[in-house]
């Protein structure tokens, strides 16, 4: 059985264990490991050997302020999707030139919000480019191009190609140039994002080549952002292999060097990883409250509703699960299919369907792996459930609270 490198030997939880953490901070609980976070940041800084390359963390995956500070310390810059993300980035100490605003369908006020802070914005339709021209003529801008190639773990997260709301297509680029000219906008950046979670580098490389082919259209260009989407193996317990970053590096570096040799242009290259940076440094802990057998199905009823982790119900996503009881992980050599469900009033509230798991009982701790990305970030108060706390296992192994659990007062705050 292939074990997650982080769970083996319990190094993930430092000086604590999952049960202690729940007793101290409450259940459910998101737990992050600082050492893994830092390691994943370094991986992303090395995907291209080129002096002017920077990885720009896409904070929609996880915008906990304390994690953002660590990511900044590691030398990443950041991309933001909304003014709210910009606010958190400023608070985490990112400077305007380290922030790239890559929104979709924003208002004039939201464009002004970024411009007032000297933050470069990418416009992703002719209409948005026109709006920018009208309200802030003469600005420096970027545009998001749809390279016609998409990728992703589910059709809902493929963000380029034929069917997507994102980007300006190749056929519209000439018009984009005309709009920019009309308002004196200087297009200093082009970017793309083909989708979320690829495990083979080919679509990313083809899209990168496409983007580089467009550079000549833009005489003022300073930066090219190739996008994110780098996958992590979500089925580690069944031996799924990692994305081969060395292979990706070799191919991307070759592509970029061939481009710079050909054109001699000194551009800044960026990528926009979200999931890769934070997914594996996070686990979600929960508690079994009831086990029941109905017809053919064994249900393990937990406090992990889809208000806490929405990915399974939204995309049928798989997260590896381990069970912790009496100071150890249960041996999973003898298993039965168990459907792990939450406490939300919908039958679709399922974290894992018919999952081979050991015999469960009340008070077992459920450890849901690789939930650092799009976990807490997509949590909600549905059924007036409280969002959980977040804890960081520091480099010295000590757990620290990095976001408190919500309270009932929080639920009443806005009325």
Q: Tell me the catalytic residues.
A: 345
Residue 117 DSSP code: T
H/E stretch holding 294 reads strand 282-294
Locus of tokens 């901070």? 25
β-pairing, 53-58 with 77-80? parallel
- CB count in 10 Å sphere of residue 73: 12
Q: Which residues bind ligand LLP (CB under 6 A)?
A: 58, 60-61, 79, 102, 157, 159, 193, 196-197, 227-230, 272-276, 311, 315, 374
Gyration radius from the chain CA atoms: 23
Give the residue with the Cβ less far from ligand LLP, 225 or 364.
225
Give the residue with the Cβ less far from ligand LLP, 60 or 385.
60
The distance of closest approach from Cβ of residue 248 to ligand LLP in the complex, given in angstroms and rounded to an integer, is: 13
State the maximum Cα–Cα separation within the chain, in Å, rounded to a whole number.
70
Distance of alpha carbon 266 from alpha carbon 397, whole angstroms? 43
Distance of alpha carbon 81 from alpha carbon 121, whole angstroms? 10
Give the residue with the Cβ less far from ligand LLP, 59 or 340.
59
**Distance, C-alpha 132 to centroid of its chain:** 28
The distance of closest approach from Cβ of residue 227 to ligand LLP in the complex, given in angstroms and rounded to an integer, is: 6
Locus of tokens 């070759």? 254
The distance of closest approach from Cβ of residue 155 to ligand LLP in the complex, given in angstroms and rounded to an integer, is: 12
Residue with the CB atom nearest ligand LLP in the bound state: 274
CB-CB contact of 378 with 310 (8 Å): yes
**φ, ψ dihedrals at 356, nearest 5°:** -65, 110
Give the residue with the Cβ less far from ligand LLP, 61 or 111.
61
Give the residue with the Cβ less far from ligand LLP, 158 or 338.
158
The distance of closest approach from Cβ of residue 195 to ligand LLP in the complex, given in angstroms and rounded to an integer, is: 7
**φ, ψ dihedrals at 208, nearest 5°:** -65, -45
The distance of closest approach from Cβ of residue 334 to ligand LLP in the complex, given in angstroms and rounded to an integer, is: 32
Distance of alpha carbon 136 from alpha carbon 237, whole angstroms? 52
């Amino acid at each position: 059985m292939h074990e997650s490198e982080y769970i083996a030997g319990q190094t993930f939880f430092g000086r604590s264990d999952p049960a202690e953490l729940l007793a101290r901070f409450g259940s459910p609980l998101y737990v992050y490991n600082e050492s893994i976070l830092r390691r994943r940041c370094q991986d992303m800084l090395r995907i291209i050997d080129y002096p002017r390359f920077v990885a720009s963390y896409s904070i929609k995956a996880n915008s906990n302020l304390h994690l953002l500070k660590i990511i900044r310390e590691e030398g990443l810059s950041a991309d933001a999707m909304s003014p709210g993300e910009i606010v958190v980035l400023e608070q985490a100490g990112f400077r305007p030139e380290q922030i790239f605003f890559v929104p979709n369908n924003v208002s004039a006020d939201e464009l002004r919000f970024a411009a007032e802070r000297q933050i470069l914005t990418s416009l992703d339709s002719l209409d948005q480019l026109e709006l920018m021209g009208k309200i802030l003529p003469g600005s420096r801008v970027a545009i998001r191009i749809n390279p016609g190639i998409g990728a992703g773990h589910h059709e809902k997260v493929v963000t380029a190609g034929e069917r997507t709301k994102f980007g300006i297509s190749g056929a519209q680029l000439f018009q984009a140039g005309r709009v920019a000219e009309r308002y004196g906008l200087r297009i200093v950046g082009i970017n793309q994002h083909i989708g979320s979670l690829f495990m083979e580098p080919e679509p990313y490389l083809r899209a990168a080549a496409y983007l580089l082919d467009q550079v000549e259209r833009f005489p003022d260009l300073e930066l090219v952002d190739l996008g994110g989407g780098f996958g992590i193996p979500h089925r580690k317990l069944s031996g799924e292999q990692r994305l081969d970053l060395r292979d990706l590096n070799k191919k991307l570096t070759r592509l970029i060097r061939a481009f710079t040799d050909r054109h001699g242009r000194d551009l800044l290259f960026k990528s926009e990883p979200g999931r890769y940076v934070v997914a594996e440094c996070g686990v979600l802990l929960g508690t079994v409250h009831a086990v029941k057998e109905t017809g053919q199905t064994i249900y393990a009823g937990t406090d992990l509703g889809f208000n806490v982790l929405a990915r399974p119900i939204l995309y049928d996503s798989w997260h590896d699960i381990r069970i912790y009881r009496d100071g150890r992980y249960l041996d999973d050599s003898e298993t039965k299919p168990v459907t792990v469900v939450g406490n939300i009033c919908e039958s679709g509230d399922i974290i894992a369907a018919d999952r081979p798991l050991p015999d469960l009982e009340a008070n077992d701790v459920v450890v849901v792996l690789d939930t650092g990305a799009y976990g807490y970030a997509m949590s909600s108060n549905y059924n007036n459930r409280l969002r959980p706390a977040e804890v960081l296992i520091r480099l010295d192994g000590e757990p620290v609270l990095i976001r408190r659990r919500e309270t009932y007062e929080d639920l009443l705050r806005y009325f």
